[in-house]
């Protein structure tokens, strides 16, 4: 079934306020449908209380709403057990949790971590932090000129690795990696497989059991949900054997002056009062996306990406990064237009009602590898249309004249 973005737009108050708004920055954060906004507001209106603590009815209802969202998220990614879903703030926190708990508490000093050269900073810096403390080595699998991982060198690089952490869909190149294969390669080398799914869970069907990953991280705000809520999926046995990342209330069973006993999984990783309303909003976002159907979401974005690549390629001065085949891409395109600085181009587009991202998109190593300091990125979601892409192309043509590209 194909999606009807014009109908979908009616659910998003931001487009009611400005129907001409062309929002091409969903890879940074998505817009929110009324169903999510209302779920958050309704929680505060009707159910607000702290979770897991109170014996009174309101607190039981708040706990049920919070834990109900955990079950929805678990089903959405096909986790075997909802206790494999840990609520965190975002992908960044999820990856920091894994890096800290595995990298410091489980790996021996001088261990080996393998990443790829197409990682977002949030899947590089946490590993650098723990490596500094533990003297671990970090090695990177490179990508080729078209933006595909160079798997010919992967086996050599993965030798003796303890952890292999990699992105599912690149937020700059758009490449969708074969994560099932990458997980298998990690396991063949006895390494844990960690997936940064920030750009995949919102946009395509993701099944953690089919992928075979050990950990998978994503953010609510990129999938129509609120900011400040994200997910770390982890296999139960692994989470159970891990030390907590943060200490405090909620994450303990007993506290004595000289020792404490941790709570069960997943609560031992959720120190302090959690983002209860955020989790409830994420549950509503999951309902919304399931209602659309993730296969349909993927098909719609594939259609938009193919069209964007086609329209951009018609422009003389454009340089597009990442795979040529739209089937291997997620719904975003990073490019440069002649020597126009991406910040100037993004400002020009903004003056014409089009929101795009400009800069290094928190992926400096990708830009360094491409010999760039910055790029302009257009990213798409369920509320974007072909008509918007056509306007985008027209405005880019005007920009070519405005910036006097030869
Ligand atoms: N990984 C990737 C691939 C991303 O695109 C992003 C967000 N740009 C992140 C991680 C970090 O997400 P967050 O800022 O929500 O933690």
Q: How many residues comprise the chain? A: 406
The pLDDT score that the predictor gives to residue 54 is 78
pTM above 0.85, yes or no: yes
Contact 190, 111 (CB under 8 A): no
Distance (Å, whole) CA 162 – CA 190? 7
The pLDDT score that the predictor gives to residue 199 is 98
Contact 355, 383 (CB under 8 A): no
- Cα separation values, 62 from 43, 90, 270, 275, 305, Å: 8, 21, 16, 11, 40
**Is the distance from the beta carbon of residue 122 to the nearest atom of ligand 1 less than 6 Å?**
yes
A 10 A CB-CB count for 88 gives 27
Helices H, strands E: what count in the chain? Answer: 15, 15
Give, using CA atoms, the residue closest to atom 4 of ligand 1: 198
Return averaged pLDDT per consecutive 10 residues of the chain, 406 residues in all. 94 93 98 98 96 90 97 98 98 98 97 98 98 98 97 97 98 98 98 98 98 98 98 98 95 96 97 97 98 98 98 96 97 97 98 97 95 97 98 98 90
**Is the distance from the beta carbon of residue 171 to the nearest atom of ligand 1 less than 6 Å?**
yes
State both tokens at 347: 């400002």
The pLDDT score that the predictor gives to residue 255 is 97
**Atom from ligand 1 closest to the CA of residue 93:** 16
Distance (Å, whole) CA 169 – CA 184? 17
Task: Fill in the DSSP letter of residue 378.
Answer: E
**Is the distance from the beta carbon of residue 393 to the nearest atom of ligand 1 less than 6 Å?**
no
Q: Where are the beta strands (DSSP E) in 263-363?
A: 318-321, 332-337, 354-355, 357-359
A 10 A CB-CB count for 294 gives 17
Helix (H, G, I), strand (E, B) or coil at 163: strand
Give the side-chain half-sphere CA count within 13 A for 211.
Answer: 30
Domains belonging to the chain, first-starting first, are: 5-30+293-402 (3.90.1150.10), 36-291 (3.40.640.10)
Known catalytic residues are 362
């Amino acid at each position: 079934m194909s999606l009807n973005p014009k109908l979908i737009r009616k659910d998003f108050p931001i487009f009611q306020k400005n129907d001409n708004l062309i929002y091409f920055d969903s890879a940074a954060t998505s817009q929110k449908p009324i169903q999510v906004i209302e779920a958050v507001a309704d929680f505060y209106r009707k159910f607000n209380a702290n979770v897991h603590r109170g014996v009174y009815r309101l607190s039981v209802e708040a706990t049920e709403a919070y834990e109900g969202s955990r079950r929805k998220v678990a089903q959405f990614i096909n986790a075997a057990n909802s206790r494999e879903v840990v609520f965190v703030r975002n992908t960044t926190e999820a990856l920091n949790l894994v890096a800290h708990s595995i990298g410091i508490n489980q790996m021996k000093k001088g261990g080996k971590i393998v990443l790829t050269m197409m990682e977002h900073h949030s899947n590089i810096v946490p590993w650098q932090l723990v490596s500094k403390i533990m003297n671990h080595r970090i090695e990177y699998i490179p990508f080729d000129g078209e933006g595909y991982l160079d798997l010919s060198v992967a086996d050599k690089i993965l030798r003796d690795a303890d952890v292999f952490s990699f992105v599912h869909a690149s937020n700059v190149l758009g490449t969708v990696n074969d994560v099932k294969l990458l997980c298998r390669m990690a396991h063949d080398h006895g390494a844990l497989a960690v997936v940064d799914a920030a750009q995949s869970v919102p946009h395509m069907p993701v099944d953690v059991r089919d992928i075979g990953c050990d950990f998978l991280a994503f953010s609510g705000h990129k999938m129509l949900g609120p900011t400040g809520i994200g997910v770390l999926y982890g296999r139960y046995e692994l989470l159970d054997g891990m030390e907590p990342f943060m200490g405090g209330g909620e994450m303990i069973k007993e506290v004595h002056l000289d020792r404490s006993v941790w709570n069960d999984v997943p609560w031992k990783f959720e120190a302090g009062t959690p983002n209860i309303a955020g989790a409830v909003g994420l549950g509503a976002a999951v309902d919304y996306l399931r209602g659309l159907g993730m296969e349909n979401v993927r098909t719609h974005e594939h259609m938009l990406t193919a069209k964007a690549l086609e329209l951009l390629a018609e422009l003389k001065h454009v340089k597009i990064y990442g795979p040529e085949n739209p089937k291997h891409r997620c719904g975003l395109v990073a490019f440069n237009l002649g020597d126009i600085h991406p910040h100037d181009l993004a400002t020009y587009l903004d003056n014409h009602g089009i929101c795009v991202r400009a800069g290094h998109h928190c992926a400096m190593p990708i830009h360094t590898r491409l010999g760039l300091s910055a790029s302009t990125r257009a990213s798409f979601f369920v509320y974007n249309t072909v008509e918007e892409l056509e306007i985008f192309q027209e405005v880019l043509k005007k920009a070519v004249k405005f910036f006097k590209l030869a």
